[in-house]
Chain A
Amino acid sequence: MAAKPIKLRAKLSGDTVKVKAILNHPMESGNRKDPEGNTIPAHFIQNVTCKMGDETILDADFGGGVSKNPYIAFEFTGGQKGEEIVMSWLDNKGETASATGKIK
């Protein structure tokens, strides 16, 4: 089975929710060459958003300098246990993926 496009965790401690995610993506910068010397085309996530309801709680722009299978973490306040958050990514080829997680 292929890896999930996004592994998402959100945990409340005190009044802060910590969100951690792993995005499954090759993150080819477009600066690498294959063994024959051909440039490997760029293929990387350009944007990651995370929403709680209608509210955007993170909007991140990435370049090809973010590592393969990006790990990201951030924190926000005001989330309650059981509330849903949705994370989505969009890459330079227009491919997207999203995942929903509940605050634990």
Chain B
Amino acid sequence: MKLDVKRRVLLKGSFVAGTLGVAVATGLLTPRTALAAWPRQAFTEKQTAAVLQSLFGTEGAEESNQIKFEKPADIAEDGSKVRVRISTTLPAPESISILAPKNPVTLVANFKLSKRSTGFAETNIKMGATGPLVAIVKSGGKLYMTSKEVQVTAGGCGS
């Protein structure tokens, strides 16, 4: 039984390596991109806690008033393009993540910041329906969060 499982893992492992090898060889992926791991699992999880567990290895995020949604306003007219601007005064922010738990995929973007960052990130996101937006900031190895309810007039997941 144990052996069987191991063989499975081995087979699976060599399959993955083989596919990547082919991709690299055919120039689909440069070695750098093949190594830089896009967090696939985190981009499939539905629950916020599961996203955090997958990205950061912990589920707990403490509510903080040192994270601000400067945008959007309370109402977003066009769900296909909602401007999100997050700023934080938490010390040495390591990352700013944007989550839209009502979307088909909860995690929208994860900005990994350098130590030169001022704690600011901005982008446009799709929102399928009225619901909360969650901002997560990692600072000093801990997670902090704030959320904001956004009313979406016209849903944006059809675009």
Contact = CB atoms under 8 A, between A and B. Distances in A.
B29 A75 contact: no
Interface of B: 23, 28-30, 33, 36, 38-39, 43, 80-83, 85, 100, 103-105, 107-114, 116-118, 120-126, 156-159
B157 A74 contact: no
Contacts of A63: 43, 105, 107-109
A16 B119 CA distance: 11
Interface string A80-104: 0000000000100110100000000
A97 to B, nearest CB: 13
Interface of A: 16, 29, 31-32, 46-47, 55-68, 70-78, 90, 93-94, 96
Contact of A77 (B82, B85, B118): B118
A58 B111 CA distance: 7
Chain A contact residues: helix, strand, loop or mixed: strand
A67 B112 contact: no
Nearest to B120: A75
A66 B120 contact: no
A57 B116 contact: yes
Contacts of B33: 47, 90, 94, 96
Contact of A74 (B103, B108, B121): B121
Contacts of A94: 23, 28-29, 33
Contact of A71 (B29, B104, B123): B123
